[in-house]
Amino acid sequence: MVGDIVGLVNSLGVNDAILVGHDWGAPVAWHSALLRPDLFRGCALLSVPYVPRGVVRPSAMWKMIEGEDKWFYQHYFQEPGRAEADFEADPRKTMTKALYGASGDAPPGARFEHLFPRDKRPLDMIREPEQLPAWLTQADLDFFAGEFKRSGFRGGLNWYRNIERNWELTAFLDGAKLRQPSMFAAGEHDLVLRMVPDALSLVDLGMVECRSKTVIPGAGHWLQQERPHEINDLLIAFLKGL
């Protein structure tokens, strides 16, 4: 994926770029910055802060998080076909629950949680909204559901299934700091902040040139959909400061 981003920059005929990545886009952005500092002179990370690679295998961390009676969702995704069956049974319901359940609009008890009982599935824990939030339309859901009905969910889920291999291939990045100017933003109710309660402290540990870190009140995980104006203002301020 870093190679794809490098190829994109080269195809545009520019000498450098600033990357913005949300959720799993954040690791693509920070790996690009770590591996090609000559090309990428800034990095804006949304929802997921840069955390230097450590010595503990991801699968070992999952088991520590879970205990005996819970699934960590990334661990649950590892068995090929299981999550596909869950999600592909009704792509529209899947996308409705995923988008609403990880947003700041979902009340406690209706939100996506990173841990869930072993006898349940991730979607079992999320209620569908009685009314869609203002940032999510029926047309959006029609499009998302149609695309996933066409493609299935395997491609996206396979990203999770490659986490261990990515970890194995990047021992040379152990403890590496992100030294380009950077920024971080997350929503107050972002599932990542529940999953990693010390996320803001980790920003200081790994993003040594972080210019700003912001938690947006009332927002959830889908920052650029839920709070587009606030995110644009933060990005523009960051870019003007470079």
Query: Is 31 assigned a catalytic role?
Result: no
In Å, what is the CA distance from 22 to each residue of 9, 67, 120, 177?
19, 29, 28, 19
Residue with tokens 């590496």: 176
Distance between CA atoms of residues 43 and 46, nearest Å: 10
Does residue 14 sit in the same domain as residue 88?
no
Query: Catalytic pick from 23, 86, 90, 140?
Result: 23
Q: Could you tell me the residue range of the domain that residue 217 belongs to? A: 2-53+175-240
Q: Is the residue at 170 inside a domain?
A: no
**Burial group, residue 86, by CB count within 10 angstroms (0-12, 13-18, 19+):** middle
Note whether residue 208 is domain-resident.
Answer: yes
Q: Model confidence at 106, in pLDDT bands (50, 70, 90)?
A: very high
Residues 133, 66 share a domain: yes
The structure's pTM equals: 0.94
Instruction: Kindly provide the residue ranges of all beta strands, DSSP E only, lying in 51-181, ordered along the sequence.
Output: 70-72, 115-117
Active site (annotated) includes residue 189: no
**Residue 213 forms beta bridges with which residues?**
184
- 137 and 62 within one domain: yes
The neighbour count for residue 196, using CB atoms within 10 Å, is 17
198 pLDDT higher than 90: no
Q: Mean per-residue pLDDT for 20-34?
A: 97
Residue in 38, 105, 221, 229 annotated catalytic: 221
10 Å CB burial of residue 242 (0-12, 13-18, 19+) is exposed
Is residue 143 domain-shared with residue 184, that is, in the same domain? no
Number of domains in the chain: 2
Residue-wise pLDDT tens digits, 71-93: 999 999 999 999 999 999 999 99
d(CA 188, CA 194): 9
Task: Note whether 35 and 8 are same-domain residues.
Answer: yes
Q: Which of 164, 195, 216 is the last residue of a domain?
A: 164
Residue 146 located in a structural domain: yes
Domain boundary among 164, 196, 213: 164
In a domain, 205, yes or no: yes
Within-domain flag for 11: yes
Asked if residue 109 has pLDDT above 90, the reply is no
Maximum C-alpha span of the chain: 53
- C-beta atoms surrounding 61 within 10 Å: 15
- At residue 15, does pLDDT exceed 90? yes
pLDDT class of 234 with cuts at 50, 70, 90: very high
Percent of the chain having pLDDT more than 90?
88
* Cα Rg, the chain, nearest whole Å: 18
User: Residue 169 falls within a domain, yes or no?
Assistant: no
- 159 shares its domain with 72: yes
Residue 208 DSSP class: T
Residues 101, 46 share a domain: no
pLDDT value for 26: 97
The answer to whether residues 136 and 92 belong to one domain is yes
How far, in Å, are 18, 24, 140 from residue 137 at the CA level?
Answer: 30, 23, 5
Of residues 97, 189, 109, 188, the one with CA closest to residue 145: 97
Question: With 90 as the cut, is the pLDDT of residue 125 above it?
Answer: no
**Contact between 176 and 34 (Cβ < 8 Å):** yes
